[in-house]
Chains A and B, each alone.
Chain A
Amino acid sequence: MKTSFRFLRGPSDGQRIQELKGLTLFKALSARELRELDELLHERSYQKDEVIFDEGDMGLGLFVVVRGRVRALSSHAALQQLAPEFGPGDFFGELALFEEAERTARAVAMEPTEVLALFRTEFFSLLERDHRIGVKILLELSRMVVLRSRRLLAGRQHLPTV
């Protein structure tokens, strides 16, 4: 069977793996693990000022910024003051990866932006079938969340958890 249905494919495999490897959240994954993870990632492009998700929406997964910038706006006092921004390599909406809850902030693209979305149920299915990948992502995620919490406690205006 030689059919490869290439019309369904995106950029070349190596280029894509390099792109994913460059993102902080996935830096600990091997090429094989990145390939498996890539099956679950969804690419989205947003225009300047376009809403990515809204406060009060039911969160279904996290977003990783590949290109562009995203600002989080919230009615919650702490977040309102900070109005955090997320650039290439940063992720936001991670709370939705752990629980089915409403978004605590509105995420808006500040310029033409490309993001990768990781859906909660797909991530859980990955955790079940290959926990090594899941553990590596979760470790990196936890490390970043801890870092953000420390910075927040220290009063530094930097990327709180949304």
Chain B
Amino acid sequence: MKNEPQPGILTWLAIIAATCLLLFLFQAVLWLVIPALLALVVYYCLRPMTRVLIRAGLRHGTAAKVVAGVLFLATLLVLFLLFSLAATHAASWKMTTRHYVQGGLDFLRKTEEWMALKLPSLRKSPLLMSSPANLNAVGEGFAQKYLGLMLLQTVHWLPSLLLVPYLTYFFLQEGNQLKKRLIRSVPNAYFEKTLLLVERVDQSLQSFFVGLMKLTFLDTSTLALGLWALRVSHPILLGLTAAVLAWVPYIGSAAGCVLVVLVSATDYPNEPVTTYGCIVLFLCVRLLDDFVFLPLTIGRSLRIHPVLSVIMLFLGAAVAGPVGLLLVLPLMGVVMVVAEILVQILTDHRLRARFRHANQLRLGLPGVP
């Protein structure tokens, strides 16, 4: 829109504070926030499918039911597969995890030895002073300490995932009615601005979530192809996991790289070149993400400055931990749009005068708009 007032420093501080406050509140109802967020992602991805069914002649409600029904069955199938996988492999997971962590630590030790051999000046550096015994202890302790907790957390979260198809059905079936009801409750003077606000929030979320899904697909394909070429086991599963981890900006990509390095170092303990190849692959995919994939998919849908993004990631992590990392940027994108429109409404004296005039009319008082 032309000539819109830009938010000032106070508005920006309010946006940051509101984002942190929302994150803090969301922490208390994470069991609902996570499925609702996933449902929003699925809703934006499935909305075009519902529209295709409506165009094919189905009523809106029927189309929503068909799409949500298929989603519900798919979720049940995924949950069933996950539970059966967890039940059959639970005993060996501890051993497998320890095996891979140990493989990664062995790779680290070998790299240290190689560096000490090639660069004698580094021998006394603190980096190369850690003993193999310490590394082994870390490997033993990791599986013992964290794996049980991680599995318990996963099992705890699985039932609430059943909310995803139900919430998606609600969004598909009644999302538009809810939006219209919300707009109807707004005074006439602010009607058009509210329409604009809702439209922008909708567009921002759609661009972000659909873009995120496309980016995940592109990342998974590229990584899987690269890992397959490097002969690393389970390239698709690893590529998908790394691509999903990359949903958490900056930190997620590093975590995905560590995961793949662990697998590669364990599968090929005597071929460090493969592991280094994986690291190079991740760096290349990171560059592809930044210069090709991101502009093609998410673009600048959230319009957040990179420096502010990093600051918000730290704040998000401090306020709500790992969930904060995941939620902080989309949440801030929405808060930003709301704040921008609110600033426009509050600084538009004509809209406020019209609102006062309508109130006077309602009270039976004469007034000039």
Contacts and interface: CB of A to CB of B under 8 A. Distances in A.
Nearest to B52: A129
Interface in A7-65: 8-9, 32, 35-36, 39, 42-44, 46-54, 56-58, 60-61
Contacts of B68: 1
B192 A44 contact: no
B169 A49 contact: no
8 contacts: A8-B181, A42-B184, A44-B191, A46-B188, A48-B361, A50-B188, A60-B195, A121-B199
Interface residues of B, number: 40
Contacts of B357: 50-51
B136 interface: no
Contacts of B1: 58, 100
Given A52-B188, A100-B2, A119 B195 contact: yes
Contact of B369 (A8, A51, A60): A51
B192 A60 contact: yes
A117 B357 CA distance: 21
Contacts of A8: 174, 177-178, 181
Contact of B2 (A1, A3, A46, A58): A58
Interface of B: 1-2, 48, 51, 54-55, 57, 59-61, 65, 68-69, 72, 166, 169-170, 173-174, 176-178, 180-181, 183-184, 188-189, 191-192, 195-196, 199, 350, 354, 357-358, 361-362, 369
Contact of A129 (B51, B174, B369): B51
Contacts of B54: 36
B65 A1 contact: yes
A51 B177 CA distance: 26
Given A61-B192, A117-B191, A119-B195, 11 more contacts: A1-B69, A5-B170, A5-B173, A8-B178, A8-B181, A9-B177, A32-B57, A54-B354, A60-B195, A122-B199, A129-B55
Closest 6 CB pairs of A and B: A8-B177, A5-B174, A60-B192, A47-B361, A51-B369, A39-B176
Given A9-B177, A51-B354, A35 B55 contact: no
Interface of A: 1, 3-5, 8-9, 32, 35-36, 39, 42-44, 46-54, 56-58, 60-61, 100, 117, 119, 121-122, 129-130
A43 B59 contact: no
A53 B177 contact: no
Contact of A49 (B57, B195, B361): B361
Nearest to B59: A35
Contacts of B192: 53, 57-58, 60-61
Contacts of B191: 42, 44, 117
